[in-house]
Amino acid sequence: MNASPEFVLHLADNALILGQRNAEWCGHGPILEEDLALANNSLDLIGQARLLYQHVTQLRDDGSTEDTLAYFRDQQDFLNFTLLELPHTTALAPSARAERDYAVTIARNFLFSAYMSLVWEQLQSHADSQLAAIAAKSLKEVRYHLQHAADWLLRFGDGTEESHQRAQAAIDFLMPYTQEFWSEWPVSQSVLGDTTALQSAWQATVDEVLTQACLQLPAGTGHVTQGRHGVHSEHMSYLLADMQSLARQHPGTSW
């Protein structure tokens, strides 16, 4: 039984958008090693997105391609979590020229990778054999992403006064957006089923790492974002403009 095309598209959009965000550190990493680490992280995510988009085109059989799905859809057509499109800063104004904060990047990668490690683990036994194969490959990558982010979160949280404050501010800022992981969505439930156990396992991982990092777990309540329903933040249009502009200026070009 094949998975829902809409759910596979959601997975693909998640990977593409976070891959695009993390790629913004290329040439700007705090140290050379991290510059390379985030570039490799982005390549993993974009590679996952390509495989997932290719599967979407097969499931839909409507003439779409991985390129049309990535570069020629508008903001409201993307189904990614809002968490993944946010800039690398706690300053929300899209016109702000706030300096990128690596603690925000690390905290987001940690929260999302902790979620996706559980999702991919479950999906590798899915009846959709192609999705299961993508999940098995992606699980190896996301486990590294999780370990990398957790290690840095521990360094930040249990480091200097400034690094601790930045890490705590990043967690405080991002945690409410993780509510969208668990909000009701029949498309997701049709594939993952009841996510109660998934949420408990994710919460246990988050609690353990934050405790070790001497960070406080914020309430994480408030407005529940609706990115996977196509309702995005003001930051999404800026991200898509950067990502899609070249392809839209030269439609039909073979690269």
178 falls within a domain: yes
Residue closest to 7 by CA, chosen among 228, 231, 233, 236: 228
pLDDT tens digit sequence for 188-224: 988 999 999 999 999 999 999 999 999 999 988 889 9
| 31: DSSP letter | S
Residue 3 has pLDDT above 90, yes or no: no
Q: How far is CA 13 from CA 135, 146, 156, in A?
A: 15, 19, 29
pLDDT of 62? 93
22 falls within a domain: yes
pLDDT of 220? 81
pLDDT of 60? 94
Higher model confidence: residue 251 or residue 135? 135
255 falls within a domain: no
Mean pLDDT of 117-141: 97
Can you give the CATH number for the domain in which 34 is found? 1.20.1260.10
pTM: 0.94
238 falls within a domain: yes
Q: How far is CA 168 from CA 58, 80, 171, in A?
A: 43, 25, 5
Burial of 249 (0-12, 13-18, 19+ CB in 10 A): exposed
115: left (phi > 0), else alpha (psi -120 to 50), else beta? alpha
Number of domains in the chain: 1
254 falls within a domain: no
Residue 251 has pLDDT above 90, yes or no: no
Please, where are the H alpha helices in 175-229?
A: 186-192, 196-212
51 falls within a domain: yes
pLDDT of 31? 85
Cα 46 to Cα 205: distance, rounded to the nearest angstrom: 25
pLDDT of 255? 57
Residue 227 has pLDDT above 90, yes or no: yes
Mean pLDDT of 129-140: 97
What is the residue range of 48's domain?
5-88+98-249
Mean pLDDT of 147-171: 97
93 falls within a domain: no
Q: Which helix (H) or strand (E) holds 23?
A: helix 5-23
161 falls within a domain: yes
pLDDT tens digit sequence for 61-115: 999 999 999 999 999 999 999 999 999 998 655 444 568 899 999 999 999 999 9
pLDDT tens digit sequence for 7-43: 999 999 999 999 999 999 988 888 888 889 999 999 9
